[in-house]
Structure 1
Amino acid sequence: MPESFFKERNIQFLCYHFHMDGKEYPDDLGKTMSFEEFYRRVDNGALPVTSQINMEQFMGFFEPLLQAGKDVLHIEMSSGLSGTFNSCRMAKEELDQKYPERKLKIVDSLGASSGFGLLVDTAADLRDQGMDIDAIHAWLEENKLNVHHWFTSTDLSHYRRGGRISAASAAFGTLLHICPVMNMDHKGTLVPRKKVRGKKNALKEIVEKMKEHAQNGVNYSGKCFISHSDCEDDARAAAELMQKEFPNLKEPIRINCIGTVIGSHTGRGTVAVYFFGGKRVD
């Protein structure tokens, strides 16, 4: 999600970090390193390595808020992709002892990128409607698996490097212009579901997956987010397809750029679609 989103919704956030060319950078929404520069370096052979947020960093983020007399609801990236949620949980346990009069609620989103963002956005809507922290936390736990994530990519090298697909699949897929269609399963991990030949067909396939899984099918009237790793034209093409198929969308489709930490694992060429649907069960 862009920095403007967090400012508009009055949401504080904590940055992940990545290392590239011997230097550490924060994933601060493109401020320290623009997304264009990041993907240019990756194209030129840089191999970014991401790092988790540790317990001490969470303590430093949460404690001033608790000291100020505020209750905190924190939504974290999927434990199926990162060990960061465990660090968050340990920080919570310590701070619960230190500030028993305050509430510190944490949620393992079992999501990532703008799917994780869709959950954060919905939590902010509930807050603005007057729902209290306990009720929002309960709603998130009950509904987080209703957020669907469907991805496709034209660059398979980073998925191979991260173990998402095999080396053989990456080699043959690149040669034959095969684009995998993947989703986030109920454990919050990325799972290849189908192989489609050609980018246009892959984008059509993720739209078909939305028709299959969205609440009320083509009558879906909720929010839809799209994210992309420096391939905005592809994201806009997907948005056009969705607007034709889903005329009742609640708001214009929000298109975001995939940030540097997730982009370290996708490389350029990924398009992902996020929406509310039935519970993810596998």
Structure 2
Amino acid sequence: MLNYVLTCCSTVDMPYDYLQKRDIPFVCFHYILDGKEYPDDLGQTVSFEEFFSRIAAGAMPTTSQVNVEQYIAFFEPFLKEGKDIFHISFSSGLSGAYNSAAMAREELLAIYPDRKILIVDSLGASSGYGLLTDMAADMRDNGATLEEVYDGVEENKLNVHHWFFSTDLTHYKRGGRITAASAAVGSLLGICPLLNMNNDGKLTPRKKIRGKKHVIEEIVHMMEVHAKDSINYSGKCFISNSACYDDARKVADLIEEKFPLLNGRVMINSVGTVIGSHTGPGTVALFFLGDRREDE
């Protein structure tokens, strides 16, 4: 019997029921919306529909990462049960949560010297981070040891591709990520920024594409270019979206048409409340396994 638990952060942006079914406990980030603090609990407290509707109406949420004390409170019950821990953390390129988890690890190992706590920096976000966690759960369920799962995740984390586009620049303007002039010109011309995540786990702008149809075609083309075995890709594919399911469905339909050997249908999830606080509505993100990510 395996004597370790696989855990992650709420920024994995996978369905609550999925994590319950796969036996993957998660620790919540938090956000403040209209002066009130909420847990990023995968839509349980505030539904994704309500959250993105409030942003569309002008709300500007702020977020907070998991601190050392919160990680200790999350990890310690497993250690008290006599279990070891394998935790996959949100990207250090986007948050200090990995460092907080590592500090909590050191404090807890001083109290529980006979236990093991292994932590991987996913260098990922949203359902791309979820795809890596799904891989770890599959390995665990196939009988892999704690160390084997750790090694497998470390070896493969930079093979998880993250490609994003946004069709709504309003929230980017409100948050100061682009100027009002750039947002106005971009909206007038129908510009949809295409970004990906580099090997440092940071979001990197790649292209400015005119028109939703073209950016949908381009993001799928990036999967053709980078996916393992190209159109013969036989792995899983996840998509997350922030209140733009129809756009996500168009991407998924095109992928399912072009990649006939996919492992199951494309899973479409919602961007969570913490990541959605930064993207706002209108973002579609595509995740798959492919060649090794490098900064270009």
Q: TM-score band, normalised by the shorter chain?
A: over 0.9
Report the CA distance shift for 1:138/1:162 in structure 2 as closer, same or farther (over 3 A). farther
**Residue 55 of structure 1: aligned partner:** 68
Contact 1:180/1:196 (<8 A) preserved: yes
Matched positions, count: 282
Q: How does 1:136-155 map onto structure 2 within 5 Å?
A: 136-155=149-168
Post-superposition offset of 1:8: 1.2
Contact 1:59/1:91 (<8 A) preserved: yes
Post-superposition offset of 1:133: 0.5
Pairing partner for 1:182 from 171, 178, 195: 195
**Unmatched 5+ stretches in structure 2:** 1-13
Q: In 1, distance between residues paired with 2:245 and 2:196? A: 20
The runs of at least 4 consecutive aligned structure 1 residues that moved more than 6 Å come to: none
Q: How does 1:1-282 map onto structure 2 within 5 Å?
A: 1-160=14-173, 165=178, 168-282=181-295
Q: In 2, distance between residues paired with 1:102 and 1:123? A: 20
Report the CA distance shift for 1:145/1:121 in structure 2 as closer, same or farther (over 3 A). same
**Residue 8 of structure 2: aligned partner:** none
1:208-254 Cα distance to aligned partner (Å, 9 max, x none): 00000000001000000001001111111100000111000011111
Q: In 1, distance between residues paired with 2:85 and 2:162? A: 26
What is the letter of the counterpart of residue 197 of structure 1?
A: R
Contact 1:164/1:190 (<8 A) preserved: no
**Unmatched 5+ stretches in structure 1:** none
Contact 1:118/1:225 (<8 A) preserved: yes
Report the CA distance shift for 1:129/1:164 in structure 2 as closer, same or farther (over 3 A). farther
Q: In 1, distance between residues paired with 2:282 and 2:80? A: 43
Q: In 1, distance between residues paired with 2:131 and 2:170? A: 27
Contact 1:165/1:192 (<8 A) preserved: no
Post-superposition offset of 1:65: 0.4
Determine what percentage of the aligned residue pairs are the same residue: 60
TM-score scaled by structure 2? 0.93
Q: In 2, distance between residues paired with 1:22 and 1:157? A: 21
Contact 1:225/1:275 (<8 A) preserved: yes
